[in-house]
Structure 1
Amino acid sequence: MKPSMSRPMAAATLAGLLTLTACGGSGSGGDPDAPVSLRVAVWTANDDHLALFDEIADAYIAEHPRVEKITFDPLPFDGYTTALTTQIAGGNAPDLAWIFESSAPDFVSSGALVPLDEVLTGTEGYAFEDLLPATTELWREDDQLFAYPFSTSPFAVFANLDLLAEAGVPAPGEMTGAGEWTWDEVIGAASTVAGQTGASGMVIRDFDYTGWDYLATLWTGWDAQAWDESSQCGFDRPEMVGAMTFLHEAVFERGAMPGPGTSADFFAGEAAYTVTQISRASLLEEAGFAWDMVPLPAGPAGEYAVIGQAGLGVLRVGDHPEIAADFLAHFTAPENSARLAEYFPPPRESQLTAETLAQTNPLLSAEQLQDTVVAGIAGGVVKPSHLGQEQIAQTVRAQLDALWKPGADVPAVLGDVCASVQPLLDR
């Protein structure tokens, strides 16, 4: 969902943070032989991820003597976009940056990013046409690609089979075979686990009663939307009311999900189920319990898939945008895309097969990869995003606070959400 807006209006959305309309990048001018260092802002501090990035960067440095250093700079996941835009506004912009899908409309439409089509199509062996249009849509404007969708990761359900067995609850495979892999059945099973074992039932990871956009992994099963393509708020519509009523009952009446102020880490064995992206599967490498990964449960509207995306873009205000764009072409070329696929599902059609993904994802079976990853990317919807996302997100979050308590009037709260957020969507 990316409503159209003129570039001047979109740039104004980021005024005070990016200040991109008032200044340009310093470029790659000056001494053409002067040493160059590049900095890439990322939100992962995972040692395995960073080691792989460094290997890819070292190969580039070896072929480009002028580039003496490429640093991947982890910024905290919480508050990442604010930290990034603050760096840009303060004159300390990175050369390249990962960008959340929720911030894509702002960055793409503001003029913050360098268009990539020319450098990517001009790179030998890049196979630009291999990029699936569905994966690049969010990162395009005026037929130009402004960020490479380096990770298109479907959300899935991971299940702790040991906890399910302890509580006498069927495994996901059994429920799927019986046609019972639905949200209602899963929340019922989660409630049983919580009651029988003392562990938590279902955890929607990264939600924590603040990251409300992660609830798209649930409400899409009701055919609900935060807002539609014409920027009309959807929180007060019957589909969303039904989904949020179901969620509220799951927490406060059925005890199937941890309530506000409590937490449970599925990967530490503290919950029966978690909804998260498949890229988190690496956390199970040394899990002390048996587990399974399956697609999201069906909702009243049927089966569905939700994906999260991250784009890699070159900042116009970086010191060396041309060299940074050339490095991006190297970093995302077919060979390196295949290597990155171990952690970040690729946007390349040729690599988006169960057989190819299995080579770098040994923890997941071909069936899991096909049913959850390949099918999810092909048919999934992206988490909510909109111009002015940061302010919209804060407004929705503040209004939803009234929902996270027993006895809340769900329709009234959701009506208040729309009353507060619609003026922001209209801008």
Structure 2
Amino acid sequence: MRKRVAAAALAAAVLAGTAACGGDDAGSDGPVSLRMTIWSSNEAHLKLFNEIAEAYRAEHPNVASITYDSLPLETYTTTLTTQIAGGNPPDLAWLFENSAPDFVSSGALVPLDDTLKDTAGYEYDSLVPAALKLWQRDGQLYAYPFSTSPFGVFVNTDLVAAAGKQNPAELAAAGKWDWTAALDLATAVNAKTGKAGLVVRDWDYKAWDNLSTVWTGWGAQAWSDDGKTCGFDAPEMVEAMTVLHKAIFVDKALPGPGTAADFFAGEAALTVTQISRAALLQDGKFKWDLVPLPAGPKGPYAVIGQGGIGVLKRGENAEVAADFLAYLTNPANSAKLAQFFPPPRTTLLTADTLAKTNPLLSPEQLQSVVIDGITQGVVKPNHTGQAELNQAVRAALDPLWKPDADVKAVLGAVCASIAPQLAK
């Protein structure tokens, strides 16, 4: 309880404190050091980020250094807001879609429209309007949707073969890749190999919003489109979570609470995640594939995770930081970064273009998972006051992760817990 209250109070204090705070654009006349917080510590990601930073510094001798501060994913937003509250804000920050409403509405970020539009060769009009929506307020863009990345399913085809099951790509081609088939495959792998069947990466019975990659197939929503009505007790959600609960505790298709399995270490047959993780497959430990999310009772669907990069007003070098953001996300650099982070640019969202910088993925995989996903997908749950909501939903869902849980009752309790906040 203390952690939940502290997290909510911290977020409220930081965002309120930054709302009226203007940026200090000092530093343009002397050496400037920029710091950007990111969630990844992957060597391939950092190598590319640093190459772009060095190219920018070569053109801007007043910029002495650009460093990337890799924060743990699990505590990323809390750590970022702690830095801001403690008077040590980064110049730029990678923001997750679930915290976008709070940051965009807080006044903590510098509007980017003028900088991006005035940058020669930026091609602002090529940005997909739908991808910008979450990061805009009153016609202003407060963070660039750096990564608009649909979720897909990576497949360890060696484990699938060991279980004697048909490959998901073959099932998809035959129109038979759905959640029934996926969970049946996952159960068979666990029973015959002892390895995990399916892992929803980064969920770990904590980050509940990642389960939207599953329940959306049933037409379920965490809350209504206007954010005012809870959706956890709706029949679609009850059905989806009942299927998931059985898959965990009866069929053993997913690892149970407290059991870790890393797909990229060869410990699971299937994992739901985004293509930015493909870099973890370069060692060739096993044969693998990438397929779209399985169809649900409502048919095929896609879920998108977005990461936006914003410039903090409280950073010491907001003007220079905004200029670097324009360089980092220009068409040329967006094309390079597209191998990990699908850009919101219509000019780059073609299978042939993405394939040039995605050697690990085929044009067919890029089309079916990335391009079709961006076109059709819904963004993961997001809401104002998300930090407090996250804690409340997670706590209310905890009783669900027991073998004898009453799924409907637990989901009803979730709504009882968060309804007052949704109604604000």
8 Å CA contact retained: 1:36, 1:68:
yes
Q: State the one-letter code of the partner of 1:79.
A: T
Matched residues in 2 for 1:408 and 1:51: separation?
Answer: 46
Matched residues in 2 for 1:13 and 1:140: separation?
Answer: 24
User: How many residue pairs were aligned?
Assistant: 415
Structure-1 residue corresponding to 2:308: 311
Deviation at 1:25, TM superposition (A): 3.8
Q: State the one-letter code of the partner of 1:144.
A: Q
SS at match of 1:312: strand
The counterpart of 1:327, out of the listed 324, 345, 348, is 324
The counterpart of 1:166, out of the listed 159, 162, 166, is 162
Deviation at 1:37, TM superposition (A): 1.0
SS at match of 2:347: helix
The counterpart of 2:128, out of the listed 115, 125, 132, is 132
8 Å CA contact retained: 2:304, 2:379:
yes
Q: State the one-letter code of the partner of 1:393.
A: N
- Summarize deviations over 1:54-100 as a string: whole Å, max 9, x none: 11111211222221111111111111000000100110001110001
Q: In the alignment, does 2:379 pair up with 1:382?
A: yes
TM-score of the two chains, using structure 2 as the length reference: 0.95
Decide whether aligned partners of structure 1 residues 16 and 171 sit closer, same or farther in structure 2, where only a CA change above 3 A counts.
Answer: same
Decide whether aligned partners of structure 1 residues 322 and 331 sit closer, same or farther in structure 2, where only a CA change above 3 A counts.
Answer: same
Which range moved further: 300-309 or 158-167?
158-167
Matched residues in 1 for 2:43 and 2:16: separation?
Answer: 33
Deviation at 1:14, TM superposition (A): 4.2
Q: State the one-letter code of the partner of 2:262.
A: D
Matched residues in 1 for 2:137 and 2:342: separation?
Answer: 23
Q: In the alignment, does 2:361 pair up with 1:364?
A: yes
Q: State the one-letter code of the partner of 1:299.
A: G
Structure 2 unaligned segments of length 5 or more: list them: 1-8
Matched residues in 1 for 2:392 and 2:265: separation?
Answer: 33
Q: State the one-letter code of the partner of 2:191.
A: G
8 Å CA contact retained: 2:19, 2:108:
no
Q: State the one-letter code of the partner of 1:390.
A: A
Structure-1 residue corresponding to 2:5: none
Q: State the one-letter code of the partner of 2:135.
A: W
Decide whether aligned partners of structure 1 residues 355 and 420 sit closer, same or farther in structure 2, where only a CA change above 3 A counts.
Answer: same
Q: Counterparts in 2 of 1:62-141, with a 5 A limit?
A: 62-141=58-137
8 Å CA contact retained: 1:101, 1:383:
yes
Structure-2 residue corresponding to 1:230: 226
The counterpart of 1:56, out of the listed 31, 52, 58, is 52
SS at match of 1:17: helix
Matched residues in 2 for 1:420 and 1:134: separation?
Answer: 31
Decide whether aligned partners of structure 1 residues 64 and 297 sit closer, same or farther in structure 2, where only a CA change above 3 A counts.
Answer: same
Structure-2 residue corresponding to 1:146: 142
Decide whether aligned partners of structure 1 residues 136 and 13 sit closer, same or farther in structure 2, where only a CA change above 3 A counts.
Answer: farther
8 Å CA contact retained: 1:13, 1:387:
no
Q: State the one-letter code of the partner of 1:218.
A: V
Which range moved further: 107-116 or 286-295?
286-295
Deviation at 1:33, TM superposition (A): 2.1
Structure-1 residue corresponding to 2:215: 219
SS at match of 1:92: coil
Matched residues in 1 for 2:110 and 2:102: separation?
Answer: 14
Deviation at 1:26, TM superposition (A): 4.7
SS at match of 1:18: helix
- Give runs of ≥4 in structure 1 deviating > 4 Å: none
Structure-2 residue corresponding to 1:27: 24
Structure-1 residue corresponding to 2:35: 39
Matched residues in 2 for 1:66 and 1:273: separation?
Answer: 48
Identity %: 61
Structure-1 residue corresponding to 2:6: none
The counterpart of 2:390, out of the listed 390, 393, 404, is 393
Q: Counterparts in 2 of 1:219-298, with a 5 A limit?
A: 219-231=215-227, 232-298=229-295
